[in-house]
Amino acid sequence: MDLRGKHLVLGLTGGIACYKSAELVRLLTKAGATVQVAMTDAATQFITPVTMQALSGRPVFTSQWDGRIANNMAHIDLSREADAIVIAPASTDFLARLANGLCDDLLSTLCIARDCPLLVAPAMNRQMWMAPATQRNIAQLRADGVAVLGPGSGDQACGEVGDGRMLEPEELLDDIVAHFQPKLLAGRRMLITAGPTFEAIDPVRGITNRSSGKMGFAIARAAREAGADVLMVAGPTGLPTPRGVARIDVQSAQQMHDAVLSQLRGIDVFVAVAAVADWRPAEVAEHKLKKANDTDTPTLRFVQNPDILATVAARADAPYCVGFAAESENLEQYGEQKRRRKGVPLLVGNIGHHTFGLDENEIVLFDERGAMRLPRADKLSLARQLVAAIAERLPVDRP
Ligand code: C5P
């Protein structure tokens, strides 16, 4: 319910991507928002107001002269109630009119009369998107403070391939949710390790752990929502990359270590969430280990992996470092001990070690002031609280 209490005006303009807006309304209302749909004449050629009304549960407005608003000020009334106006799809023509302040129908008048943020999701053929006039209009809209969501890239309804597709409804939802998050980490760069590592035994076997990567990915998403530039170094997981987050995939602890150290320049915050294997097999067999007979068992010898977090934290130019700990007992005592041992200002303790793979978690923050418990919640809302805690503790200027 990331949009609980939010009222959105969703504007549709003429484009085949209107069919995706039906799904978008469903996702927005599922996320807790109330949605008032307004459509241009051209949009009604692509999807009917009846469909949009059924999905939003509210009458749809299409005309400036709609008799349902007694004072004939639909453009003022509708925008004053809104926390944001979202135009999806935003056609080439509509963007041009918006950029020039034209307002010859209800939706364009609503936009210019607004006193709330405006988000537009362009949807058009790639040549129309690349046209100098469109790019000029987009630059103008950005300069005017309008948020431009996408466009995406790929197959187009016209059969061509390129930039200009409207983002998928799920992507738009994520961007709209992100829009409402406070920009606590604007201008900051965050590096995150996430997921398990995989330590090879031979070309087909290896040792890993049950980390799903969910907590690390949630923190990456929350940090991005808070305005940070986020790079994630991820062990093997099947999770999709959060929107706007850069990602480097690795397998082993050594690869994770090397990737992290190569990316440290300019990083303000390092969050080590990955469940890094403490040991790896001393040798990786070049060929698959074979069973010689019925009683034969191999013996593995291990060597220690580098401690990525401790290595980063010990550097003279260390970013603000945040560690994680999953203890099965005595968290209060072990958490603070681990914080000191790793040399980090903030350590996050998982309460219990049964968090792997689950959507919820319960955590304790340890810093030099003591322990602060965050009640059980889903991992994304804990990640947002953690991001706020990091933002609060971050030195204003790094040396
Ligand atoms: O020592 P322990 O594995 O309990 O410490 C957990 C914390 O240290 C986590 O933040 C984890 O990401 C990090 N870590 C690391 N490199 C290792 C082992 C743990 O960065 N080799």
Specify the DSSP class assigned to residue 56.
H
Cα of 338 to ligand 1 centre, how many Å?
Answer: 10
- Using alpha carbons, select from 115, 121, 39, 40 the residue that is nearest to residue 82: 115
361 inside domain: yes
User: Is residue 270 very low, low, confident or very high in pLDDT (cuts 50, 70, 90)?
Assistant: very high
Q: What is the pLDDT of residues 132-190, one digit of tens each?
A: 999 999 999 999 999 999 999 988 888 888 999 999 999 999 999 999 999 999 999 99
Last residue of a domain, one of 179, 197, 232: 179
Same domain (yes/no): 11, 138 = yes
Question: What was the pLDDT predicted at 399?
Answer: 45
**Same domain? 149 vs 261:** no
For residue 119, what pLDDT band results from cuts at 50, 70 and 90?
A: very high
260 lines ligand 1 (CB under 6 A): no
Query: Among residues 114, 147, 179, which one ends one of the domains?
Result: 179
Give the model confidence (pLDDT) of 250-266 as tens digits. 999 999 999 999 999 99
The protein residue with its alpha carbon nearest to ligand 1, atom 17, reads: 307
Q: Is there a contact between 152 and 175 (Cβ–Cβ < 8 Å)? A: no
Ligand 1 proximity of 347 Cβ (cutoff 6 Å): no
Q: What's the order of all strands across the beta sheet hosting 360-367? A: 246-249, 229-234, 189-194, 269-272, 320-326, 346-350, 360-367, 370-378
Q: CATH no. for residue 151?
A: 3.40.50.1950
Q: Which pLDDT score, from 0 to 100, does residue 355 have?
A: 64
Whether residue 398 is contained in a domain is answered as no
Å from CA of 326 to ligand 1 middle: 10
Q: Atom of ligand 1 at shortest distance to CA of 324?
A: 10
- How many A from CA of 381 to the centre of ligand 1? 23
Q: Is residue 111 among the annotated active site residues?
A: no
Q: 219 and 368, same structural domain? A: yes
327 touches ligand 1 (CB under 6 Å): no
Q: Among residues 114, 148, 179, which one ends one of the domains?
A: 179
State the pLDDT at residue 326. Answer: 82
- The C-alpha atoms of residue 175 and residue 315 are separated, in whole angstroms, by 36
- Plot region of 392 (φ>0 → left; ψ -120 to 50 → alpha; else → beta): alpha
User: How high is the mean pLDDT of the chain?
Assistant: 94
- Find the 211 Cα to ligand 1 centroid distance in Å: 13
Is 398 a residue whose pLDDT tops 60? no
Does a structural domain hold residue 2? no
The alpha carbon of 176 and the centre of ligand 1 are apart by a number of angstroms equal to 34
87 Cβ closer than 6 Å to some ligand 1 atom: no
Verify whether ligand 1 is closer than 6 Å to residue 274 (CB atom). Answer: yes
Evaluate whether 263 touches 234 at the Cβ level (below 8 Å): no
Assess whether the C-beta atom of 259 lies below 6 angstroms from ligand 1: no
Question: CA-CA distance, 253 to 115, in Å (whole number)?
Answer: 50
Residue nearest atom 9 of ligand 1, based on CA coordinates? 324
For ligand 1, the distance from its centroid to the CA atom of residue 323, given in whole angstroms, is: 7
| Within-domain flag for 1 | no
Distance CA 301, CA 288 (A): 17
Selecting among 18, 103, 111, 158, the annotated active-site residue is 158
The answer to the question of residue 342 being in a domain is: yes
Distance between CA atoms of residues 393 and 379, nearest Å: 21
Neighbours of 38 (CB within 10 A): 29
Please tell me whether residues 155 and 19 are part of one structural domain. Answer: yes
159 occurs within a structural domain: yes
CATH code of 388's domain: 3.40.50.10300
Pair (61, 173) in one structural domain? yes
Please identify, by atom number, the ligand 1 atom nearest to the C-alpha of residue 322. Answer: 10
| Gap between the Cα atoms of 123 and 240, Å rounded | 24
Report pLDDT digits (tens) over 7-35.
999 999 999 999 999 999 999 999 999 99
pLDDT tens-place string over residues 292-313: 888 888 899 999 999 999 999 9
Same domain, yes or no, for 217 and 364? Answer: yes
Whole-number Å distance between alpha carbons of 397 and 108: 43
For a substitution probing ligand 1, which of 233, 258, 324 has the most ligand atoms within 8 Å of its CB? 324
Identify which of 307, 311, 331, 342 to mutate to test ligand 1's pocket (most ligand atoms within 8 A of the CB).
Answer: 307
Ligand 1 pocket test, candidate residues 270, 276, 315, 347, most atoms within 8 A of CB: 276
Closest CA to 232 of 200, 180, 269: 269
pLDDT in tens, 361-386: 889 999 999 999 999 999 999 999 99
Q: What is the mean pLDDT of residues 218-239?
A: 98
Domain containing residue 98: 7-179
Q: How far is the CA of 325 from the centre of ligand 1 (A)?
A: 7
Is any atom of ligand 1 closer than 6 Å to the C-beta of 305?
yes
- Mean pLDDT (whole number) for 40-44: 97
Burial bucket for residue 357 (CB in 10 Å: 0-12, 13-18, 19+): exposed
Query: How much is the pLDDT for 72?
Result: 64
Total structural domains within the chain: 2
